[in-house]
Structure 1
């Protein structure tokens, strides 16, 4: 029954029943952290054989004869550039292989733009203001980077096919202080949206008041489909090709990593960009580094000798994760469908489900869940500065718990969401 159609007595009775259930959940002593989208142990185990691939000195030689135990090769060994080029949908010569974290690469890329500008433009730090478009709900760590650098964030609604492009085009056309936009284009964090071809083309061709406007294309979930059907059919138009077609070849930076493919603390991250952008990145990084961990690059390319091996590995991930995402849908549907309490996304890939409760209920839901032993991502995290103006969005991260623990956590979550919704009516 839709709670908005309930009488006051019905609301009071239902609230009392739910709070009784809540007390039982809280007394059970469950301790479960679902605050981040982490791989579970079973996923990490899939990559353990990779750690034994380099046993001798000969194992440490790349295809060009380089001893990867030593200094050199600032932008990555050839095999690693090819592997990451597949993930980045680009050519190996346009790829720069970094360390283990794409977040670090994105942070440093922003820092270089601030300190040195882009291809001869005035350094952003010398401008009176710098602004970024932030599709919301979005990725909290993107927002944290901008906040640390003092960059103003402009929220734009995230739709089923990408950001609201009418609003994006309106903003960038007239404000030269807007220097970039964050994009998680495939299985977006947290909604699971996949950018449409039209959205990609509009991003690449839109008129920008800032000539050095940059698209930060964080394709973190490029091969993280939850089914073979999704892997084959959820095809993302390449932003690089679209930008070249629109005569804006330097507009984009593409990022990806193996963090949720192999080991989050020991993966390989890379950036792809135009030849001009890559050349500038190599020049500027030359003072910062001599090269990243080439032994780790070797381990990855020996473990994934071709794209078929990589996709086969990701099918194993999907076999572990799909039942968890199915369980989220089953529990939310059984507990909340038709209640008027909430809506949620049904992603075909990625790591999250985006949940919208009634306005004014997200913080209360998260607070109640914590009291019952389930730690969720903080309410508001999917908005700049952690401030959701409607206090309704919650990011559900179901990947790390076991199915049994997740089942209990979702029962608690549904109970808490209902309590918060009924309390707002009273």
Structure 2
């Protein structure tokens, strides 16, 4: 297949007519599919239906002897904290179990820092003239939305395939206005990359202008593998402690894509000082999270081996969907120069870099054909992709047959948008 940029004007016109016919045929199918968010499909949620029968009639006592139906235990059940300690890289006493949403924990942690300051803060962040966050991009739109809501200036940082460009990060954090950085360190949303050991080491050891700088370490996909390989990740808490910055990292995770997305557990892990600070703030708003849910998770998952076995069952359901997307892209787009895409080994997304200036057009074409994609630009702060090229594909919710059909169409949309853009470019040169 020829590179689009190498085609003559006449060959490009012929190619466009061919691809347009394929697009028209795809549009005529009348599909109605949503690939906008990385959510578990119903058959994935079914894997954890047994949770709903737990902890069992008359069996509401935790290992400590406490009745989980009652108030109290703000930090969370010891067995729930111990279950996730190896995954979070923290001692159980340095873990807090929240409600069902790690995003809520991130939001509240950031707001508390703005209003009251974090441990080591000379004053509340909100009292500073400006608060700045570094945002590895493409990244998670909901992280960016929190910053936007509270007037925090965001600086995009390029991703390298092994994490953020650390030369750029180290240069930027010298500014005392830079208070934090969003990180999805394993199977990043949406690129799928894993932060290298060297990246984690440099993030922990770098000199920052702000004494209270924090890494918001959203390890959302810590056990979410798409291949038999269970890739690891350097322990950021140990790295920070070893570098003399024990309070630097706020670690977040949840069971949202492990058990029941709307009824899971969220976790905060950090240094003793940060945990004490977080608990003091939580104590003003709640007397304790849902300990019944914590107990049912501890009994259902049992141990790390139990979590891994469950995630293997998830992988069996969703890995073929990722393979279907990549297969369609390879067949329609390889050798055309129209796009490049990730082949993630974990997580929930495929990241596509389409031809510059075409991402919005791809989303528009897909919508007209009945396939809803994440809005173009969503993976950058304020929704502004400087090159209008990144697309986030979320294949988990539709069934496999639907993913196959949608992937064919999305690939055609990407190719058609690239051909259109090249045609416009050639017409401009001719004029």
Give me the TM-score of the superposition, normalised by structure 1.
Answer: 0.98
Is 2:349 aligned against 1:339? no
Q: Within the alignment, does 1:278 sit opposite 2:279 as a pair?
A: no
Tell me by how many angstroms 1:54 deviates. 2.5
* Residue matched to 2:378: 381
* 8 Å Cα contact 2:139/2:190 also seen in 1: yes
2:413 to 412, 416, 419: 416
Q: For residues 120-269 of structure 1, what are the structure 2 equivalents within 5 Å?
A: 120-121=120-121, 122-173=123-174, 175-229=175-229, 231=230, 234-269=231-266
Between the aligned partners of 1:416 and 1:96, the Cα distance in structure 2 is 45
CA distance in 1, matches of 2:220, 2:194: 12
Q: What CA distance in whole angstroms lies between the structure 2 residues aligned with 1:99 and 1:181?
A: 23
Q: Which one is further off, 117-126 or 338-347?
A: 117-126
Alignment check: 8 A CA contact 1:19 1:419 kept: yes
Residues 120 and 242 of structure 1: is their aligned pair in 2 closer, same or farther, counting only changes over 3 Å? closer
What aligned pairs does 1:2-81 form with structure 2 within 5 A after superposition? 2-57=3-58, 59-81=59-81
Q: Is the 8 A contact 1:180 1:213 kept in 2?
A: yes
Point out where structure 1 has 5 or more consecutive residues left out of the alignment.
Answer: none
Name the CA distance, whole Å, in 2 between partners of 1:419 and 1:226. 30
Whole-Å Cα distance in 1 between the matches of residues 194 and 305 of structure 2? Answer: 23
On the 8 A contact 2:191/2:350 being kept in 1, the answer is: yes
SS at match of 2:56: coil
Of 301, 304, 310, 2:301 maps to 304
Residue pair 1:83, 1:301 contacting (<8 A) in 2 also: yes
Task: Report if aligned partners of 2:251, 2:269 keep a CA contact under 8 Å in 1.
Answer: yes
Contact preservation (8 Å) 1:360, 1:392: yes
Contact 2:33-2:372 at 8 Å conserved across structures: yes
Gaps of 5+ in 2: 424-431
Conserved 8 A contact 1:60-1:68: yes
Query: In structure 1, how many angstroms separate the alpha carbons of the residues matched to 2:63 and 2:356?
Result: 57
Q: Distance in 1 between matches of 2:24 and 2:422?
A: 21
Task: Give deviations 1:296-334, integer Å, cap 9, x for gaps.
Answer: 111110101111111111111111111111112211111
Moved more, 8-17 or 361-370: 8-17
Residue aligned with 1:60, SS: coil
Contact 2:55 2:299 in 1 (8 A): no
Give the secondary-structure state (helix, strand or coil) at the position aligned to 1:378. Answer: coil
Between 320-329 and 406-415, the greater mean CA deviation after superposition: 320-329
How far apart are 1:270 and its partner, in Å? 0.6
CA deviations 1:264-293 (Å, max 9, x no partner) are 110100100000110111112111110011
State how far apart, in whole Å, the 2-side matches of 1:83 and 1:54 are: 16
Q: For the Cα contact (< 8 Å) 2:120–2:211, is it kept in 1?
A: no
Given that 2:351 and 2:393 are in contact with CA atoms closer than 8 Å, whether structure 1 keeps it comes out as yes
Give SS of 1:316's match.
helix
The match for 2:291 is 294
Separation of aligned partners in 1, 2:315 and 2:414: 28
Moved more, 376-385 or 75-84: 75-84
What is the deviation of 1:125?
0.6
Q: Deviations over 1:373-415 (max 9, x none)?
A: 0000110000000010100000011111111100110111011
Give how far 1:84 is off: 2.5
- Kept in 2, the 8 Å contact 1:84–1:97? The answer is no
Q: Please give the root-mean-square deviation of Cα atoms over the aligned residues, in Å.
A: 0.8
